[in-house]
Structure 1
């Protein structure tokens, strides 16, 4: 009995020492800021949850070389000035190793010079291209992004239109940063695909009616309409198209494949087409697609383990934060938390099979995805259907 008691005490003592050593491991801090309130909260909030899910899964497996990851969360509210303040707090007070986010192109552009000056690797979850463009848009040495470029999504739409023999299009774009970025690429790439833009109009993303703009472009007899916005404005465009009796197919941008879009647009969503990550129709992918098992695992975690689907049904944005965290984690495993080495490791990411595509990042391309990472989906009876073309 005495021997058993002694060994028991020794075991407890060793356990406490071992546990203490694990608990004493200094966490690797990562800043994570998204629009958790404001007009883009419907994207930002689930993006935060996915970031937390990714970190939890990494920490369950022992963290990064024995050190846990710790997210330091911030709410930009979709406000560029607040995003700048949070980025500075992350860098100078919280001493984060890297940053994930934000949600919108405008906030991303606001913090871009801040993280560049501080030399902090930042993987953004924004849709617009300027955050990873140089020249007049500033340096992007430390800035990366996981969503497809707007130019990639435009090319995907244009490939489809060309294959279908459609040559005359009209475009309607929002006046915010994301909409302006889309308009630029829609106009720039059209000649490359033999397309003529016969009419173009703009709208404020907070507008509640776009019939005036749609009536103007419809007079020019386009064979297809392309709208470029995120949020409720896209559903309003769809409703107005139906109200005006416009028969040309409506293409939305890559930011709108979301059950919320179908809910808001209702019957007007029927037949709408848009470029999307494979996540929206993953079960329809061929079994040979390397992303299919990766997406299946993600969906299992999202729905059956963390139960996020109860509040936020999966949409095309759902995988962006997961991919950002995993790309960062891969780099951390290779080089540790040294910011400069980390930046270089992220820039050399090759063959990472993610939720949103297979990433091959280069010094010239801080996104690493091409058109093959996207699909065209069509809404049929309230469901997302993979278009075969």
Structure 2
């Protein structure tokens, strides 16, 4: 009887695989999928960043599944919309973890929503790879532990160092700062002030604005009357373009530096002619065709661009920007870790932390227990808007 039961189970399993093949699926897909929670700003002020990030997440999961999945198991994204709201972001994170039973989380989009969910995800002990720009999510100290929290965009401090290194080469030492009052803007301000002495930089003016402000002329008039040789603006989204327009309207002649969140065709579109000459640190994604063939990232980036533009045709609606690769790198690092250790959360967290030499879209990642980002200044380049396009200048 026992032998008959075993035979019956084997026939049932074989039938299930045969059905899967007839339906056009790989036999591997008879196995349970690995669920990954992906939550971004799909609506709200940063939806122009969050929505294409979701599309990239879907694109890379599709690529992984077509190549056999993770040890024979497909990945399945469970999507959530934070709406750019910290309270909503926390609700979505809890739903993904507690109801949907995801193995890991990717996202959210902004530093503020990242900080809003971090205490929960740390307590829940779920591997979370964030796609936020600010440092606080992995800063430790007063910002709380980051044992389970990682992020793929460069640290704010790395972007500041890239800018200051360029200014030092140019001999520009007197700097004016204009920053948004949100979490990302305050994080930028903190690092700009903290690192200035190290590079011989003197902060000669400091002004702030709200991310929804429509005019920054008053702040810029104060800066124009001072001795600044360079203006650094720290914000993401449309506010940066508004600053560029105001700078042009006031006929300010000092160079305008934007932060590492602004290399985006949307910036050029919104700022128009005022974008000309703007400088900023960027991932190499924005100037892939200008990279030397010896750059180890070039082939990886070119594959990404081919899929994004030619295969999935996302570029017509959401042109590639410096944010585009963050979800790709997050899911790739997560997938690499899963291939090594499976889906046990403790083992997975440890494997992500031991990522070394991963060649991604946004850089070559080398994580450590102390550094849950793993990117240095060599992962960024300095670009300038010239004739409406991005030019590699360093």
Task: Name the counterpart of 2:274.
Answer: 268
Aligned partner (choices 138, 144, 169) of residue 175 of structure 2 = 169
Distance 2:302 2:68 in 1: 23
| 8 Å Cα contact 2:29-2:74 kept in structure 1 | no
Partner SS for 2:196: helix
Given the alignment of the two structures, is residue 153 of structure 1 paired with residue 159 of structure 2, yes or no? yes
Partner SS for 1:163: helix
Distance 2:47 2:105 in 1: 19
Task: Name the counterpart of 2:309.
Answer: 303
Given the alignment of the two structures, is residue 119 of structure 1 paired with residue 121 of structure 2, yes or no? no
Given the alignment of the two structures, is residue 250 of structure 1 paired with residue 256 of structure 2, yes or no? yes
| 8 Å Cα contact 2:133-2:154 kept in structure 1 | yes
Distance 2:159 2:29 in 1: 45
| 8 Å Cα contact 2:285-2:361 kept in structure 1 | yes
Task: Name the counterpart of 1:4.
Answer: none
Partner SS for 2:70: coil
Q: Could you list the per-position Cα deviations for residues 59-101 of structure 1 after superposition, in whole angstroms to 9, with x for gaps in the alignment?
A: 0011000000000000000000000001111111111110000
| 8 Å Cα contact 2:297-2:361 kept in structure 1 | yes
Partner SS for 1:286: coil
Aligned partner (choices 29, 33, 42) of residue 27 of structure 1 = 33
Q: CA deviation at 1:122?
A: 0.2
| 8 Å Cα contact 2:28-2:68 kept in structure 1 | no
Task: Name the counterpart of 1:16.
Answer: 18
Distance 2:88 2:370 in 1: 30
Task: Name the counterpart of 1:372.
Answer: 378
Segments of structure 2 that go 5 or more residues without pairing to the other structure are 1-13
Equivalenced residues, count: 377
| 8 Å Cα contact 2:178-2:208 kept in structure 1 | yes
Task: Name the counterpart of 1:192.
Answer: 198
Q: CA deviation at 1:218?
A: 1.6
Task: Name the counterpart of 1:280.
Answer: 286
Q: CA deviation at 1:14?
A: 9.1
Partner SS for 1:115: helix
Distance 1:140 1:86 in 2: 20
Q: CA deviation at 1:23?
A: 3.7
Task: Name the counterpart of 2:351.
Answer: 345
Segments of structure 1 that go 5 or more residues without pairing to the other structure are 1-11
TM-score, structure 2 as length reference: 0.94
Given the alignment of the two structures, is residue 107 of structure 1 paired with residue 113 of structure 2, yes or no? yes
Q: CA deviation at 1:220?
A: 1.3
Task: Name the counterpart of 1:60.
Answer: 66
- Counterpart mapping for 1:200-219 below 5 A: 200-219=206-225
Q: CA deviation at 1:217?
A: 1.4
Given the alignment of the two structures, is residue 221 of structure 1 paired with residue 227 of structure 2, yes or no? yes
Cα RMSD between the aligned structures?
1.2
Structure 1 runs of 4+ with >2 Å offset: 12-15, 17-24
Q: Could you list the per-position Cα deviations for residues 336-385 of structure 1 after superposition, in whole angstroms to 9, with x for gaps in the alignment?
A: 00000000000000000000000000000000000000000000000100
Aligned partner (choices 303, 317, 322) of residue 316 of structure 1 = 322
Task: Name the counterpart of 2:8.
Answer: none
Distance 2:317 2:215 in 1: 28
Q: After superposing the two structures, state which structure 1 stretch, 17-26 or 72-81, moved more.
A: 17-26
- Counterpart mapping for 1:350-365 below 5 A: 350-365=356-371
Partner SS for 1:310: coil
